[in-house]
Amino acid sequence: MKKIVIVSNTGWYLYNFRFKLINELSKKYAVTLVFPFDCYSNPLKKTGCEIINWKLNRNSINPLLEIFSIFDLINIYLKIKPEIAHHFTIKACLYGTIAGRIVGLKKIFNAITGLGHVFLAKNTNAFIYKIVMVFIYRKVFNHKSSNLIFQNLEDSKFFQNLKIITKNKSFLIRGSGVDVNYYKREKEIKKIDLKKTIKIFFPSRIMKEKGIIELLEACQSLIDENVDLHLYIPSDLSFHNRSFLSKKEINKLKNKSWIKLLGQLSDLKPTYENSNIVILPSWREGLSMALLEASAMECSIITTNVPGCNDVVKHGESGLIVPPHDSVSIKLAILFLINNPMISEKFGKNARLSTMKKFNSEIVISQTMSLYENF
């Protein structure tokens, strides 16, 4: 039986985005999961796979700690001796590829789930980081053993244009797929009623690249015009990275009665089902899992005209698409949906049909296994 090692910077990612894939792979391969142990370690054990603790601080930029994390992966690979390594999340992709090349792995697959903060931010520091990261990406990924899996065509073209990867080493698998048998409504769509509070759901962490600032501005403008709404946000407030809202900004959120901070949720399905509108005004995505789940749940969706979002939602057919960084357009889109409940409901039904056809998790699992077997 072939050995496959799957590496991520969190158990949270593997459990929430790759659990079904791992279960299917373990039926055919000897699968080892490598990640820094967290509260998802025990649930991941239930897959029957071996799990190994990766000594990694995912928020660290200390060179010595980073080198130590790479050596830890080298030791893990030497112990397991896998035929295939599949890396998820950018640190895992970079460090896993370096470790794999050192130990002589012939098949390395790196899942690029998005461009990340460095490529999306517009400030001077980000520009400098981008130059450095492009250099590093070229040195690490442009190797005969390394193959990159993208979730949308634009990211693939972006990496090819920067000469990080060649076309024959670039593959398209649209996201991690969604379990349409689980993400389906148990009760009728919650019709929009202007006599009741409009429930808006932002299914993401409160990071600037997810468009949270623009959404807050749009909702505040509606509140000022006496629109009765609640904005639900499921975010772990202890999480932190460079684009996370500051403590001062978070405290402002806590002081607004119309903002409902739900904390980190292990399952978003009930919130999708109880919401009138799902909004993700992201600046860019790999392929948004939140939008796939919302689509499968027949939600009425507003998102942005960027890769990874417009791949899922078709404007005027399965939702509304607005320009990125545009709070006024978000506001107008919300007003359109709440004033046209029949159209809103139709969008939701179309969204589920499209998701079942294009983004069913069974499709993604089949494509991944074909890649392992045929490449």
**Domains in the chain and their CATH numbers?**
3-177+360-374 (3.40.50.2000), 198-358 (3.40.50.2000)
Residue 44 tokens, joined: 């991941």
User: What pLDDT does 29 receive?
Assistant: 93
User: What pLDDT does 126 receive?
Assistant: 65
- Write down the mean pLDDT value for the chain: 89
- State yes or no: pLDDT of 240 exceeds 60: no
Helix-, strand-, coil-residue percentages of the chain, each rounded to 5: 45, 15, 40
Mean pLDDT of 165-169: 87
In whole angstroms, what is the distance from residue 24 CA to residue 10 CA? 20
In whole angstroms, what is the distance from residue 149 CA to residue 368 CA? 10
Ordered alpha helix ranges (H), the chain: 11-17, 19-25, 41-45, 63-80, 90-103, 117-120, 124-141, 153-161, 212-224, 247-254, 269-273, 289-296, 327-339, 341-358, 361-374
- State yes or no: pLDDT of 253 exceeds 60: yes
Question: pLDDT tens digits for 123-132?
Answer: 666 677 778 8
Question: pLDDT tens digits for 219-229?
Answer: 999 999 999 99
Give CA separation, 259 vs 14, 83, 190, 192, in Å: 29, 49, 20, 19
User: What pLDDT does 55 receive?
Assistant: 92
The Cβ of residue 6 has, within 10 Å, a number of other Cβ atoms equal to 27
| pLDDT greater at residue 136 or residue 301 | 301
Global confidence as pTM: 0.84
Residue 42 tokens, joined: 């025990």
Side-chain half-sphere exposure of 293, counting CA atoms within 13 A: 22
Residue pointed to by tokens 């909702």 = 219
User: What pLDDT does 123 receive?
Assistant: 64
Question: Helices 327-339 and 341-358 sit at what angle, rounded to 10 degrees?
Answer: 110
Q: Is the dihedral of CA 48, 53, 56, 58 positive or negative?
A: positive
Confidence category of residue 148, pLDDT binned at 50, 70, 90: very high
In whole angstroms, what is the distance from residue 340 CA to residue 207 CA? 30
% of the chain exceeding 90 in pLDDT: 58
In whole angstroms, what is the distance from residue 110 CA to residue 96 CA? 9
Mean pLDDT of 237-242: 57
Question: pLDDT tens digits for 104-124?
Answer: 998 999 998 877 666 666 666
Residue 353 tokens, joined: 């049909």
In whole angstroms, what is the distance from residue 19 CA to residue 14 CA? 6
Length of the chain counted residue by residue: 375
Confidence category of residue 65, pLDDT binned at 50, 70, 90: confident
In whole angstroms, what is the distance from residue 69 CA to residue 71 CA? 5
Cβ atoms of 66 and 60 closer than 8 Å? yes
49-63, 130-144, 280-294: the lowest-pLDDT one: 49-63
- State yes or no: pLDDT of 206 exceeds 90: no
Mean pLDDT of 147-159: 90
User: What pLDDT does 189 receive?
Assistant: 77
Question: pLDDT tens digits for 26-35?
Answer: 999 999 999 9
User: What pLDDT does 86 receive?
Assistant: 97
Query: What is the Cα gyration radius of the chain?
Result: 21
